[in-house]
Amino acid sequence: MARSRFANFSRRRFLMGAGACGMGLPFLSSLVARAGSDPVDRARRLIIFCSPNEPINPDFWLPPGASHGSVLTGLAPEMASLEPYRDKLLMLGNMDMASRIADPHPGGHIGMGHLLVGRRVTEIGPNEPEHWASGMSVDQHIAAALDMDPLTVGIRVSGANGNSRISYVGDSQPVDPVTNPSVLFDNLFADATLPAEELAALKAQRLSVLDRVTGDLERIKSRLPAEGRNKLEIHTDMVRDLELKIESDQVIDCDPTAPPSADTFDYGSNANFPTAVRRQIDVTLQAMGCGISDVATIQLSNSGASNLTPLWPTEGIDLNLNYHDIVHDHNEDPNNATIIDRRLQAETFFYSMFAYLLEQLDTIEEGDGTTMLDNSLVVWMKPIAQRHNFNEFLFMLAGSANGQLSTGRYLSFDGQPHNNLLVNLCNLMGLPDTSYGEAQFCTGPLDLG
């Protein structure tokens, strides 16, 4: 069963929704300063950016003169949009998706369920999309450990199956991405424009509701058997914890800008896909800059992206063929110049969307001479490797993760399982994990030194 974007309820978020113990609490403003939100021993933020389908084979993406540990003196032509951020990139090549290689479920696109989970999928049917990931994804794991709610957003993500979900709170528990930037903005910034007096009144109202709920819980506790009393006590503790947090919260200085309403702009159309990507990035970064969350996943389309046709002349690409077919045509006829050109145009576009994310991060100053990009851990990935295989994967890290990464380099990890990178993400975000996913597919964190 799919979950909402805030599926890993922290104690703070546990009582916010209308479904929480039937309280019907109004949406609590997330514009609050979190204690310890600026640690020095981890990246301040994690942003995972998932581009659809697969990259072209390494001959196209390998940087000039690349060898393990080499400095990035340039980038492949299709990555030209990333040149301004070359010194802030750490390119990781040639890993295997070992969990997928060992998975008997059919189809090239089930890598989507392995990408952030590192486990063989749970089959719910015999066909390729009929599966779910079989564990918690690393974004949700990190956010839960940091006691915050991750943002899970998508652009033109269609369907509800294993090929269209990247984030999970547990086995067969996918998180549905928010796919409309205006809806995402309204969900996140519901109280952002309220005057100070109204915010104070809203806070008082919510505290009053919690007082009544606590009293109700205490009154019914004596009527329950021992097991029920224990469960109710845990629930009561959550209410008390939320009450303390509301009392101590202080609104931070944040003035978000809303994207155009869905009533005036069709964010789900193919024609508007590039604009929708940028607006989702804009809202996500505003939310992170305002302290709403330190963890976000941005998913472009589905694994195969057959619902994307690159008819975007304003982006310099005008191909009347869906992206899935563009990829398969190249795999079937890799030496055809026309097909190669189409493929390169499509990949150039997707890299430009990642470049937009880095550009926006790099323009937001933190107040200490650094930018959001410097202090963030940004991860670029695709769910499949070249030619629909699961070896020779390319991953990219961007930003120094708050000074933890030495960037501007290329590293090759021939044959190492991609689960190892998931361990690195945990460690760079301050978690002590030594393994992630199925243990047999993980040998420990990569040496990124």
Rounded distance, CA 140 to CA 167, Å? 7
Residue 311 neighbours by CB distance under 10 Å: 14
Specify the pLDDT at position 193. 58
What long-range pairs does 207-210 form, CB within 8 A, spacing at least 24? 207/243, 207/246, 207/247, 209/23, 209/25, 210/15, 210/239, 210/242, 210/243, 210/246
Q: Residue 417 contacts by C-beta under 8 Å, 6 or more apart in sequence?
A: 95, 96, 97, 98, 99, 118, 441, 442, 443
- Is residue 2 packed enough to be buried (19+ CB in 10 Å), middle (13-18) or exposed (0-12)? middle
- Provide the residue type at 307 as one letter: N
Kindly calculate the radius of gyration of the chain based on its CA atoms and give it in whole angstroms: 22
Three-class secondary structure of residue 302 per DSSP: coil
At 367 the pLDDT is 81
**What burial class does residue 255 get, using C-beta atoms within 10 Å of its C-beta: 0-12 exposed, 13-18 middle, 19+ buried?**
exposed
Q: Number of C-alpha atoms within 13 angstroms, CB side, residue 265?
A: 15
Closest C-alpha among 151, 159, 140 to residue 181: 151
Please give the sequence-ordered ranges of beta strands (E in DSSP) within 109-228, or none if there are none: 122-123, 131-132, 151-155, 168-170, 173-174
CATH architecture of 24-188+262-441: 3-Layer(aba) Sandwich (3.40)
**How much is the pTM?**
0.82
Write out the chain's pLDDT in tens, 449 residues: 343 333 333 333 333 332 233 233 323 333 333 333 445 579 999 999 999 999 998 989 999 999 999 999 999 999 999 999 999 999 999 999 999 999 999 988 999 999 999 999 999 999 999 999 999 999 999 999 999 999 999 999 998 999 999 999 999 999 999 999 999 999 898 765 566 676 667 667 667 776 777 777 778 877 888 777 776 776 677 666 666 656 655 444 577 899 999 889 999 999 999 999 999 999 999 999 988 999 999 999 999 999 999 999 999 999 999 999 999 999 999 999 999 999 999 999 999 999 999 999 999 998 888 999 999 999 999 999 888 888 899 999 999 999 999 999 999 999 999 999 999 999 999 999 999 999 999 999 999 99
- Identify the DSSP state of 373: H
176 burial class (0-12, 13-18, 19+ CB within 10 angstroms)?
middle
């514009």: which residue's tokens? 31
Tell me, what's the pLDDT at 108?
86
Dihedrals phi, psi of 91, to nearest 5 degrees: -90, 130
Q: Which helix (H) or strand (E) holds 354?
A: helix 337-363
Domain boundaries, the chain: 24-188+262-441
pLDDT at 209: 72
Q: How far apart are the first and last CA of the chain?
A: 40
